[in-house]
Amino acid sequence: MPQLSPALKIMLAMAFVVVCWGYSPTGIHLGLQAYEPGHLALLRFLLASVLMAAVAIWRGISLPKMRDVPLLIALGLFAVSLHHVLLNIGQQSVSAGASSVLAQSTPLFSTLLARFVFKDRVSAWRWGCVLLGLVGVVIVVAGDKGLASIDAQGLLILLAAVSWSVYFALQKHHTGRYDGLTLTCYTVWAGTLLLLVYLPGLADQVLRAPVEVQIAVIGLGVFPSALAYLAWAFVLAHVDLSRAAMTLYLVPPTAMLIASFALGERPAMLVIVGAVVVLSSVLALNLERKLLALLTPSRAGSLPH
């Protein structure tokens, strides 16, 4: 059997991540038919934790240092427990397609965190991208249910994006002592440990849930919550984050496509327009240096011939 080239392996891993994370909003929507938001998050990551434990034993990851335990718990809080509980609550009143777009607004909030928490300098370009992205968020919300019908639950998806941006900030500023697989495993395990507050009542919901819902939740635990995280860790071990993140712009259209088949959702034109605005603003954030280099003439090019 011919060996796959390293480049092809990375491309396949990226495609796998996009499909898995594109399925997540649909899986959440189906899971919420029989589970409370907190119970759904806990069951999803219990399954993911078991699978990751098997991978960790197979690969032989290192034990964490005691001084890093508080950091790992914080990573688990913002990346897993808080993020996914907020996401589940929010999706009770937002369509799967719109939810996937709002969840991709994380880089916008990362910019705000960089400025107001870490006191980083934020350029006028990045401020413009943030404002444009927030306009796109309003368009998505208006197109999905209408501004008059949106409630606090739906806005929690934006708080979920904020939580994810805090996770990225903590990871960027405080980690580097662990490889991607090790950090992913401990983050998921820590987040699952925090989700155990929802353990009471979970067994009753498992016993009452229909088979089709159980299959959807198993899919959530195995693919978006475990295998996709592991595949993403593999990608980041071989590709620069800024390049790898480009593939994540395919997640919302993939999520809309999956939701159209599985849930019969048909995104309104305004949601699609808002999605384009949000994703364009996030793309412009990540391409800031390249775009400014193209728009700003070089010193040599500005001299008279």
Encoding tokens for residue 270?
A: 């305004």
> pLDDT (tens digit, 9 = 90+) per residue, 161-173?
889 888 887 877 6
* Whole-prediction pTM: 0.85
> pLDDT (tens digit, 9 = 90+) per residue, 263-275?
988 888 888 888 8
> pLDDT (tens digit, 9 = 90+) per residue, 42-60?
999 999 999 999 999 998 8
Do 133 and 277 meet the contact criterion of CB atoms below 8 Å apart?
yes
Residue 177 has pLDDT above 70, yes or no: yes
> pLDDT (tens digit, 9 = 90+) per residue, 208-217?
999 999 999 9
Residue 75 has pLDDT above 60, yes or no: yes
**113-135 average pLDDT score:** 76
Average pLDDT, the chain: 83
Percent of the chain's residues with pLDDT above 90: 36
Per-residue pLDDT at 292: 57
Exposure string over 153-178, b if 16+ CB within 10 A, otherwise e: ebbbbbbbbbbbbbbbbbbeeeeeeb
Number of separate helices (H) and strands (E) present in the chain: 17, 0
- How many angstroms from the chain centroid is the CA of residue 15? 15
CA dist 162 → 21, 34, 166, 204 (Å): 18, 27, 6, 32
Per-residue pLDDT at 106: 75
Per-residue pLDDT at 296: 58
Per DSSP, the three-state class of 254 is helix
Q: Which residue has the tokens 């699978």?
A: 51
